[in-house]
Amino acid sequence: MKKFPAPLPFFVLCLALIVGPVPSPGHGAAAATVPGPAAITSDIIVFGGTPAGIMSAVAAGRNGAKVILIEPSYLIGGLMSGGLHKTDIGKRETIGGLSAEFFQRVMAFYTQTYGANSPQVKALDYTQDPKTRGGYYFEPKIALQIFREMLAEAHVTVRTKEQLHSVDAVAGQIRSLVTRHYATGAETRFTGTIFIDGSYEGDLMAQAGVLYRVGREARAEYNESLAGLTEGPAEYLGTGDHRVQSYNVRSTISVDPANRVPIPKPKQYFRDAHAHLITTINTHGLKRLVELYPDRDRWAEINGKLDPNKADFIGMNLGYSEGDYEQRARITAKVQDYWLSLWYMLQNDPELPEAFKADARNYGLPKDEYLESNHITPQIYVRVARRMQGRYFLTQNDVHRDRFKPDTICMGSYGTDCHGIQMIQTDAGLKLEGDFNGAADAYEIPYRSLTPYGVKNLLVVAAISASHVAYSSVRMEPVFMMLGHAGGLAAHLALAGQTSVQDISIAKLQAGLTASGLPLKAPYRPWVEIRAAQNGPYQPGTPIDFEVVARDVRAPLTRFAWTFDGSGAVQGTANKARFTFPHPGKYSVMLLAWEGEKNFALPAVLDLTVEGADSPNREVHYTHATTVGRWTRSRGQEIEYRNRVGLLDENKRDGQSRAEFTTTLPKSGRYRVAVAYATVSNRATSVPVQIAHADGTTTIKINQRKKDSPFAFVPVGDYRFKAGEPATVVLTNAGVNGYVQIDTVRWLWLGE
């Protein structure tokens, strides 16, 4: 059987090296026979003490099953006890069952300990409405305490520090698994009837021979617009690879002098990786950490503890997903050092102002957390590792459009959120590649995504069957807890019915989940698509007829908006439209449709090519713009903007921020210039936009608080440009009365 130990944190690896290996037969003076592993039998074996694994164990235990939970680290609770105390919740109405119970217990603990009107209770959620406030923020040690209480109440046996050593899987059944205690070297064989993989990494399913993936699907594989390579040469965009989104340390920082230890200098000091912050601090004369990180007030401070989500170590996680415990320990140590390097540099670097460093030294490690690992969490943020290829494979289409499933077990609702994957060289310079961020409606997750092919007594509740894009939404801790709840109940049903996990009664599973308060049904939104009456190839100057295709429409559609040329201009308002593309190129026809005034469908998009010469149209995204000032990522409320993220100027109106979008146009003549931005109530109403063209420079002002078009793009005028000369559009914050947002600028060819 393949030997594959589960991961160890770096400090544990050091301990294991100090203890030394267990002698093997034939070595040493006595050459004694080494006894086989101790044997333990249980109804259900859960490997992985993540929130998913814990709730699987609790759900099964509450239903009377004998359950053992095995965790390879010293710390159960995964990321929730390992530093993420500002929970990413998505839509709170989708959270129920044991997941909701956990947050209710958080609220009850702080209310009983500090009082209903205490600062601690008010800090448990960003909303201050007592009717909707929940215990979504918490100290890691309190999360650990609550997990332990729930496990004890369900009579679950918990084993920590147990590395997965081998799995015995024969004829479609896992019979047992063997672990090795990383401190003592003692081996234990756990035999069970049903097994659950609750690990972030999918270690148990991998050792059982279940099909899985690591990395990104190609864009064309499942027709996912967000899939594959996001930056680089055009011929490689959308291609798949073996890379996963970056990891970091979501560890707790303390600002309480009585509960704080200093930030130590890391063993490997990554100063250069963070040196750009020195430039920012000195350039802008910053004197306090909050000036460097304006989101400081959103770090969920509770009892002086904070949850900053900083210092993604781009590319360092290569090899983690399938690495053995020694390799993962080395990667973990580097990710920890990278995170420490950020804080150590901000507090000690000689090139920084003394006032700034003095303020930064108010931040330290929590004295009362992670005592076994020098107050640094052993749990790095494994955003994704292996993903099972199970009986249903969730994709972007399931998250955004085909959101209803007959075997639904819970809902996801967080947006598609992928952190950077790699830094690559492009003709435009070094670029961060792989990140995307967009909104999502609540969508149903099917039970089939927890069940593998081939193995009849295994459920996978964290590394579930989903594409890279879909998993970027699924991977949130409240969802993991609900998946675990469903998996634990399903395991109990399989055990009680003496059947495979694939053949349990879905009706009984759903009834049990509903009875526990877990909502299953996603809210309705109309779903429409576009059909072209004529088949391609399409020629310039030939009219094309388009019509609405109702995929899921439950009331008459009352309003339509079409745009054909990419400018955002409304070019059709009925359920059918005709448009003539006068020039060759690749176009994205977009349709918005409404049932009444408020119930609107997601944008329908039809990509088509009008044949002929290469398109003279050009587009520059904000990632390729030249910016001055401080800009942060920002979303907007338009339906089209759900999968767009622009940059928001933080300097407001000082006139020092500008964004320059420049391209070289291939043909001389007239172009329509269109600018994308989001309309939000705090945006500026008079943003200066300077368009440099063949006849000079024109300055107009746009209202980013409101616009006539329902689309993200808005045309800002038609201008004449010369081929081969720079075409430039500049947005500034000079004299504005609110925030300025930038996203994309387009130049669309009109003719000579």
Give the tens place of pLDDT for each residue, 598-621. 889 999 999 999 998 788 899 999
Q: Cβ(388)–Cβ(467) under 8 Å? A: no
The CA distance from 9 to 439, in Å, is: 34
In the chain, what is the greatest distance between 2 CA atoms, to the nearest angstrom? 94
Q: What are phi and psi of 135, to 5 degrees?
A: -85, 55
**Residue 16 confidence (pLDDT) above 50:** no
Residue 361 has pLDDT above 50, yes or no: yes
For residue 344, the model assigns a pLDDT of 98
Q: What is the pLDDT of residues 686-704, one digit of tens each?
A: 999 999 999 999 999 999 9
- The DSSP call for residue 739 is B
pLDDT for 8 beyond 90: no
Residue-wise pLDDT for 407-460, tens only, equals: 999 999 999 999 999 999 998 788 999 999 989 999 999 999 999 999 999 999
Output the six-digit token pair for 489.
């109940």
Residue 558 exposed, middle or buried by CB count within 10 Å (0-12, 13-18, 19+): exposed
Q: What is the pLDDT of residue 706?
A: 87
CA 244 to chain centroid, in Å, comes to 11
Rounded CA-CA distance 503/457 in Å is 10
Identify the CA nearest to 174 among candidates 455, 460, 465, 497.
455
pLDDT at 17: 29
| Cα–Cα distance, 198 to 483 (Å, whole number) | 10
Q: How far apart are CA 136 and CA 742, in angstroms?
A: 32
What is the CATH architecture of 618-751? Sandwich (2.60)
Per CATH, the number for 10-19+36-79+143-215+385-515 is 3.50.50.60
Measured in degrees and rounded to the nearest 5, phi and psi for residue 427 equal -65, -20
**Residue 420 corresponds to which tokens in the numbers above?**
């950077």
Share of the chain above pLDDT 90, in %: 83
Radius of gyration for the chain, computed over Cα atoms and rounded to the nearest angstrom: 28
Stretch 216-239: mean pLDDT: 96
Inform me whether the pLDDT recorded for 707 exceeds 90.
no
Instruction: State the span(s) of the chain assigned CATH 2.60.120.260.
Output: 618-751
Rounded to an integer, what is the distance from CA 668 to the centroid of its chain? 43
Q: Does domain 527-610 match CATH 3.30.930.10?
A: no
Residues 478-499 have a mean pLDDT of 98
**Short-list 544, 534, 536, 540, CA closest to 584:** 540
Q: Is the pLDDT of residue 332 over 90?
A: yes
Q: In terms of Cα–Cα distance, which of 199, 189, 180 is closest to 54? A: 199
Alpha helices in 401-518, H assignment, sequence order: 468-474, 477-497, 506-515
Look at 132 and 163; give whichever has higher pLDDT.
163
Six-digit token string for 591: 């349709």
The amino acid present at 167, given as its one-letter code, is: V
- Cα separation, 530 vs 478, in Å, equals 35
- Among 15-24, 219-228, 275-284, 494-503, the range scoring the smallest mean pLDDT is 15-24
- Better-scored residue on pLDDT, 233 or 127: 233
Check if the beta carbon of residue 133 is closer than 8 Å to that of residue 127: yes
What is the rounded distance in angstroms from the CA atom of residue 466 to the CA atom of residue 64? Answer: 31
Q: Which runs of consecutive H residues, i.e. helices, occur in 293-406?
A: 325-348, 354-360, 396-400
For 359, the 3-state DSSP assignment is helix
Mean predicted confidence (pLDDT) in 362-367:
98
Mean pLDDT of the 136-146 span: 97
Alpha helices in 285-324, H assignment, sequence order: 289-292
d(CA 633, CA 324): 36
How many CA atoms lie less than 13 Å away from 174 in the CB half-sphere? 34
Beta bridge partners of residue 66, listed in sequence order: none
Running DSSP on this structure, what letter comes out for residue 426? E
Residue 18 has pLDDT above 50, yes or no: no
Please provide the average confidence, as pLDDT, over all residues in the chain. Answer: 92
**Residue 422 near residue 434 (C-beta atoms within 8 A):** yes
CA angle 425, 427, 428 (to 5 degrees): 90
- Give 58's contacts (C-beta < 8 A, 6+ positions apart): 98, 150, 151, 153, 154, 156, 485, 488
Element (DSSP H or E) covering residue 656: strand 654-664
Tokens of 743: 């996203």
| Residues of each domain in the chain carrying CATH 3.50.50.60 | 10-19+36-79+143-215+385-515
Task: Tell me the C-alpha distance between 635 and 473, whole Å.
Answer: 16
Residues in Cβ contact with 273 at an 8 Å cutoff, skipping those fewer than 6 apart: 338, 341
- Tokens representing 351? 């090139």
Nearest to 738 by CA among 677, 662, 674, 661: 677
Which of the residue ranges 40-54, 131-145, 199-213 would you say has the lowest mean pLDDT? 131-145
Averaged pLDDT, 173-189? 97
> According to the model, what pLDDT value does residue 1 have?
40
529 closest CA partner among 595, 606, 597, 596: 606
CB 365 within 8 A of CB 263: yes
What does the block give as tokens for 471?
């998993």
Instruction: Give 550's contacts (C-beta < 8 A, 6+ positions apart).
Output: 526, 527, 528, 557
Task: Indicate the range of 454-468, 582-596, 638-652 predicted with least confidence.
Answer: 638-652
Residues 550-573, mean pLDDT to the nearest whole number: 95
Give CA–CA dist 352/274, Å, rounded: 12
The CATH 2.60.40.10 portion of the chain extends over: 527-610
**pLDDT band (50, 70, 90) for residue 21:** very low
Q: How far apart are CA 660 and CA 622, in angstroms?
A: 9
Summarised one tens digit per residue, pLDDT across range 275-316 is: 999 999 999 899 999 999 988 988 999 999 999 999 999 999
Residue 19 scores a pLDDT above 50: no
In this prediction, residue 10 carries a pLDDT of 37
Higher pLDDT, 635 or 88: 88
Task: Note the pTM of the prediction, 2 decimals.
Answer: 0.92
